[in-house]
Amino acid sequence: MDDAYTRLRARLSGLTDEEFFWQPVADAWTIYED
């Protein structure tokens, strides 16, 4: 689990809010709570 979290954290590091919250279509499923 630690390895998966470390890889995920590295991939998300440096993303802007605009990039993180981008949705390909309206009402798309997300990984964060509204």
Q: What is the pLDDT of residue 34?
A: 66
Tokens standing for 17? Answer: 């809010």
**Would the CA dihedral through 19, 21, 13, 6 be positive or negative?**
negative
Q: What is the pLDDT of residue 33?
A: 78
Q: Is the pTM of this model over 0.85?
A: no
Segment 1-34, tens digit of pLDDT: 899 999 999 999 999 999 988 999 998 988 877 6
